[in-house]
């Protein structure tokens, strides 16, 4: 398995609180991605990074921000969590664009 | 607008039967089409992928069929086994492009 660790694996929090999810990789891959997975929608890209401090928006980026201060870590932040952000969040990595992506095991986030 | 449409949403197949999952895409610039397999509590894992210069790719019991003119591709699982029971996602991307678009997923249940 690709060396991808997501933390925490589960989190329950309240509406309006800030939340940060962490993705850590040991593969030294340049590209990192954050997706959310919801029933009937498959996986939707939130943000991605193509290098340290280089990030860009995906198709569902509203309400989310990201940061990548070093190659191995990619953080996803919900500044003020809303119930619509209850989801399972997956981090993925790839060596190059348009190449296979390898996924972590996800973080289940519940916002009450 | 959903870039990749996947069907069926769920599928029940008897052990030893053939499982067929279909995907259709809109953007003719897509040139990489992977399939992912996901077990409960785990992240998606790359199963098999194809590029549009071939019409079929086979790896063991898994085959991708690709129809460029119809903008469709499908996954065939021959001699389906209970261990194949999982959710399958198709995806599409284009060269030098960081974004993958995923289908909505098919939950496959192979009956013993």
Distance from CA of B96 to the nearest CA of A (A): 6
CB-CB neighbors (< 8 A) of B41 in chain A: 105-106
> Would the CB atoms of A103 and B102 count as touching at under 8 Å?
no
Q: Is B93 on the interface with A (CB under 8 A)?
A: yes
Q: B65 vs A2, which has greater pLDDT? A: B65
Q: How does pLDDT run across B18-38, given as a tens digit for each residue?
A: 999 999 999 998 989 999 999
The yes-or-no verdict on residue B84 having pLDDT over 90 is yes
Task: Locate the chain B residue with the closest alpha carbon to A56.
Answer: B98
Given A4, A35, A97, which is nearest B97 (Cβ)? A97
Q: How does pLDDT run across A39-96, given as a tens digit for each residue?
A: 888 899 999 999 999 999 998 999 999 999 999 999 999 999 999 999 999 999 999 8
Q: How does pLDDT run across B59-75, given as a tens digit for each residue?
A: 999 999 999 999 999 99
Backbone angles phi, psi at A99, to 5 degrees: -120, 160
Q: What is the 3-state secondary structure (H, E, C) of chain B?
A: CCCEEEECCEEEEECCCCEEEEEEECCCCCCEEEEEEECCCCCCEEEEEECCCCCEEEECCEEEEEECCCCEEEEEECCCCHHHCEEEEEEEECCCCCCCEECCCEEEEEEC
The yes-or-no verdict on residue A105 having pLDDT over 80 is yes
Task: Locate the chain A residue with the closest alpha carbon to B31.
Answer: A98
The yes-or-no verdict on residue A1 having pLDDT over 60 is no
CB B63 within 8 A of CB B74: no
Mean pLDDT of chain B: 93
């Amino acid at each position: 398995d690709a060396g991808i660790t997501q933390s925490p694996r589960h989190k329950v929090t309240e509406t309006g609180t800030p939340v940060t999810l962490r993705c850590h990789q040991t593969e030294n891959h340049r590209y990192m991605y954050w997706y959310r997975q919801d029933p009937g929608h498959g996986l939707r890209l939130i943000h991605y990074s193509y290098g340290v401090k280089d990030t860009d928006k995906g198709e569902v980026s509203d309400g989310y921000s990201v940061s990548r201060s070093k190659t191995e870590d990619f953080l996803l932040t919900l500044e003020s969590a809303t119930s619509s952000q209850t989801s399972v969040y997956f981090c993925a990595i790839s060596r190059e664009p348009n190449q296979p992506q390898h996924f972590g095991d996800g973080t289940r986030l519940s916002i009450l | 607008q959903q870039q990749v449409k996947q069907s069926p949403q769920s599928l029940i197949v008897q052990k030893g039967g053939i499982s067929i999952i279909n995907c259709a895409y809109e953007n003719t610039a897509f040139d990489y089409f992977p399939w992912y397999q996901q077990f409960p509590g785990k992240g998606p894992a790359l199963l098999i992928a194809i590029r549009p210069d071939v019409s079929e790719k086979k790896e063991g019991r898994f085959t991708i069929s690709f129809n460029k003119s119809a903008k469709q591709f499908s996954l065939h699982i021959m001699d389906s086994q209970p261990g194949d029971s999982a959710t399958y996602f198709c995806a599409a991307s284009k060269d030098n492009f960081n974004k993958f678009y995923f289908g909505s997923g098919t939950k496959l249940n192979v009956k013993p």
